[in-house]
Amino acid sequence: MRHLATVALSLLFAAEAAAQAYPAKPPRLLVGFVPGGGVDQTARITTAKLSEAWGPITVENKVGAGGTIAADAVAKSAPDGYTFVLCNIGSHGVGPALYKKIPYDAIRDVTYIGLIGTTPNVLAVHPSVPANTVAEFIAYARANPGKLSYGSSGVGTSTHLGVELFKSMTGINIVHVPYKGGAASSADLVAGQVQLVITNLPEQVAYIKSGRTRALGVSTLKRSPQFPDVPTIAEAGVPGYEVTVWYGLCGPGGMARSLVERINADLNRAVSAPETVKRLSDAGIEAAPGTSEFFTEFARVENAKWAKVVKDAGVTAD
pLDDT confidence of residue 288: 96
Locate all alpha helices (DSSP H) within 80-157, ordered by sequence. 95-98, 134-143
Is residue 83 located within the same domain as residue 105? yes
Q: CA of 229: how far to CAs of 190, 206, 215, in Å?
A: 21, 16, 10
Amino acid 103: pLDDT: 87
**How far is the CA of 292 from the CAs of 8, 117, 263, 297, 299, in angstroms?**
24, 14, 10, 9, 10
Residues 166 and 114 in one domain: no
pLDDT for 4 beyond 80: no
Give 83-139 pLDDT, tens digit per residue: 999 999 988 998 888 887 888 999 999 999 999 999 899 999 999 999 999 999 999
96 and 145 share one domain: no
> What integer best gives the mean pLDDT of the chain?
91
Whether 195 and 129 have beta carbons less than 8 Å apart is answered as yes
The pLDDT of residue 2 is 52
- Is residue 1 assigned to a domain? no
Q: How confident is the model at residue 173 (pLDDT cuts 50, 70, 90)?
A: very high
Tens-digit pLDDT profile for residues 190-245: 999 999 999 989 889 999 999 999 999 999 999 998 899 999 999 999 999 999 99
Tell me the CB-side half-sphere exposure of residue 298, using CA atoms within 13 A: 26
- Smallest Cα–Cα separation from 230: which of 241, 220, 243, 216? 216
- Domain holding 207, by residue range, is 120-218
pLDDT at 19: 52
pLDDT digits 0-9 by tens, 32-84? 988 988 899 999 999 999 999 999 999 999 998 888 899 999 999 999 999 99
In degrees rounded to 5, what are phi and psi of residue 257?
Answer: -60, -40
Q: Give how many domains the chain has, as a whole number.
A: 2
Q: Are residues 250 and 189 in the same domain?
A: no
Question: What's 263's domain CATH number?
Answer: 3.40.190.150
| pLDDT at 249 > cutoff 70 | yes
Which of 179, 203, 218 represents a domain boundary (last residue)?
218
Q: Where are the alpha helices (DSSP H) in the chain?
A: 2-21, 38-54, 68-75, 95-98, 134-143, 158-170, 182-190, 205-210, 257-272, 274-282, 292-313
Please report the pLDDT score of residue 13 as a whole number: 45
* pLDDT at residue 146 tops 50: yes
- For the cut 90, the answer to whether the pLDDT of residue 171 exceeds it is yes
209 in a structural domain: yes
Same domain, 208 and 127: yes
Is 243 within 8 Å of 121 (Cβ atoms)? yes
pLDDT at 311 (0 to 100): 85
pTM for the model: 0.81
- Residue-level pLDDT at 115: 98
Is the same domain home to 107 and 156?
Answer: no
> In terms of pLDDT, which residue wins out, 17 or 307?
307
Given a cut of 60, whether residue 10 has pLDDT beyond it is no
